[in-house]
Amino acid sequence: MVLGTIDLHSCVSVGLPKTEANWHHVISDLKTIEDLIQSIHIDATLYTESDVHPNCKVTAMKCFLLELQVISHESRNTSMTETVENLIILANSSLSSNGNITESGCKECEELEEKNIKEFLQSFIHIVQMFINTS
């Protein structure tokens, strides 16, 4: 099932650079997660970087991806789990193009403010857009 989603995305993204195309698909998956949350009751608060410094975007993205797994676990929903897994694969493949960048002076995940799931997703979309704008 996940492979079919990736194949479909590959067809849609012809002409975009690979990493930029992946980030656009990450946003698409985030919007799918937003839609799924409307039908599933998830009352989770998640560590959220809402004011990320450009020099800390890789660190922040790693935190978002970790917290995303909480959504998958809490939802106990197959569609949610598949979408989260697909998003994580896409984001990690795009992050690997940044090499193993070590960012210093960035907040650890546990130091971030806990926010509700809607605020978390909005902040997540914002940081993905930062990656798109620099690719």
Q: Hey, what domains does the chain have and what are their CATH numbers?
A: 23-133 (1.20.1250.70)
Contact 120, 37 (CB under 8 A): no
Q: pLDDT at position 98, please?
A: 63
Per-residue pLDDT tens digits of the chain, which is 135 residues long: 444 444 444 444 445 456 667 899 999 999 999 999 988 878 789 999 988 888 999 999 999 999 999 998 888 899 999 999 999 999 998 887 665 677 889 999 999 999 999 999 999 999 999 988 875
Helices (H) and strands (E) in the chain, counts: 5, 2
pTM of the model: 0.79
Contact 25, 13 (CB under 8 A): yes
Distances (CA, A) of 65 to 8, 11, 91, 123: 22, 25, 8, 12
CA–CA separation, 64 vs 59, rounded Å? Answer: 9
